[in-house]
Amino acid sequence: MSIVAASLSRRVFAAAALAVFALAAVPAMAVAIEATDTINIGARVFCIDYRQPVMFAKELATLAFFAEGRLERVPARPLDDEVDPTGAGDAFMAAYLVSRSSGYAPVPAARRASEIVADVLSRRLS
């Protein structure tokens, strides 16, 4: 491995560790896509309230183009009515971690966690 590649790898892993706390998701994902060709790329959640939807869709389409099939999408299941989402992120992470520790791969674990959270939130409606 060259010095440049090793340095880039360290930066990619450091970026992944910091992404949850400090980095913007789309640029961080773009760096990971450019720096690797074997890992799948994704983000747990995007706050769409702070983004113009058409531009956000264009950003994701651009990432998908350069990721060559490595960009994963796990949509949230729509609910029939508005519900207080307090704790939904924590519930997602708990369900995701339980799924991963039970042997699920990352994307199926995220899909399973998304379904579990939707079920929990839909119970708040009844």
User: What is the chain's pLDDT, residue by residue, as a tens digit (126 residues)?
Assistant: 444 444 555 555 555 555 555 667 788 788 888 888 887 777 766 766 677 888 888 888 888 888 888 888 888 888 888 888 888 888 888 999 999 999 998 889 989 999 999 998 888 766
Q: CA-to-CA distance for 97 and 109, rounded, in angstroms?
A: 8
> Hey, what are 39's tokens?
């890992």
Instruction: Answer whether 20's CB lies under 8 Å from 29's CB.
Output: no
Whether this prediction's pTM lies above 0.75 is answered by no
Instruction: Label residues 82-97 b or e (16+ Cβ within 10 Å = b).
Output: eeeeeebeebbeebbe
Backbone angles phi, psi at 95, to 5 degrees: -65, -40
> Hey, what are 12's tokens?
């990619």
pLDDT at 113: 92
